[in-house]
Amino acid sequence: MVIISPSLLSANFLELKTDLERLNTVDNLWLHLDIMDGHFVPNLTFGEPVLNKVKTVSKHKLDAHFMVTNPDFYADSFKDLGIHNFTFHWEAVIHHDRLIQKLKEIYPSVGISLNPSTPVSAIPKYILGKIDLILLMSVNPGFGGQKFIPEIVDKVIELDKIRHENKFKFQIQVDGGINDQNAGYLIQAGANNLVAGNYIFSEPNKDYLSRVNKIR
């Protein structure tokens, strides 16, 4: 079963509770939380005070995507927010292995994200063997509602092949510009966790279930 992860970034922030309750009527979702620091990416989003409230309403697993220069710092300060998956950007970190060891002690699932221009080969195999999720960005991180970069499908195929050959267990998550047009071939290529913001939350009647089903 493919997991769909609606990105909170595209929700109506003036009606956040209502939007979260609408998502609670749909099963098998992760709630994708885009945390941006204005340094790693040219945008700021939300942090601990907002997520402290979000966790009291959402029934879904919290999937935190840290687009920050210092994920190590947030590993500690986010530890009581009930986050299920903590994803950091490979490009932002020097001591990857040390950070992964630390995160594994705190979070049930640990992920690594790659920018569109970072090759899959940047991550050594021994790291792939101990990680729970690889997030392949299919837009340049920083904003919702951007256009999908189709070449990312080749990265999904490459990563899926490595996963298969080595019997690795990580999920392949794709994030950015996902809709009912590209979800099919991403799933076929091996993706099993799709993040979608604009496509889900732009449903005119707020029937988010119908958009989730179209992606599935």
Contact indicator for 213, 191 with CB cutoff of 8 Å? no
**Least distance in Å: CB of 20 to ligand DX5?**
16
- Any catalytic annotation for residue 34? yes
Classify each residue of 96-127 as buried b or exposed e, where b means 16 or more C-beta atoms within 10 Å of its C-beta. Answer: beebbebbeeebebbbbbbbeebebeebeeeb
**Least distance in Å: CB of 165 to ligand DX5?**
28
Could you say which of ligand DX5, Zn ion, none residue 183 binds, taking C-beta under 5 to 8 angstroms by partner kind?
none
**Least distance in Å: CB of 102 to Zn ion?**
21
- Any catalytic annotation for residue 175? yes
Window of 33-41, 99-107, 142-150, 186-194 that interacts with Zn ion by CB under 5 A? 33-41
Contact indicator for 103, 127 with CB cutoff of 8 Å? no
Q: Rank residues 123 and 174 by Cβ distance to ligand DX5 and give the closer one.
A: 174
Give me the DSSP letters along 24-79: HTSSSBEEEEEEEBSSSSS-B---HHHHHHHHHH--SEEEEEEESS-HHHHHHHTT
Classify each residue of 55-72 as buried b or exposed e, where b means 16 or more C-beta atoms within 10 Å of its C-beta. Answer: beebebbbbbbbbbbebb
**Least distance in Å: CB of 91 to ligand DX5?**
13
What residues line the site for ligand DX5 (CB under 6 A)? 7, 9-10, 32, 34, 65, 139, 141-146, 175-178, 195-199
The one catalytic residue among 34, 37, 72, 132: 34
Q: Rank residues 34 and 132 by Cβ distance to Zn ion and give the closer one.
A: 34
Question: For Zn ion, which residue of 19, 37, 132, 175 counts as binding (CB under 5 A)?
Answer: 175
Question: For Zn ion, which residue of 22, 60, 65, 89 counts as binding (CB under 5 A)?
Answer: 65
The residues that are catalytic are 34, 175
Residues at the contact surface with Zn ion, assessed by CB under 5 A: 34, 65, 175
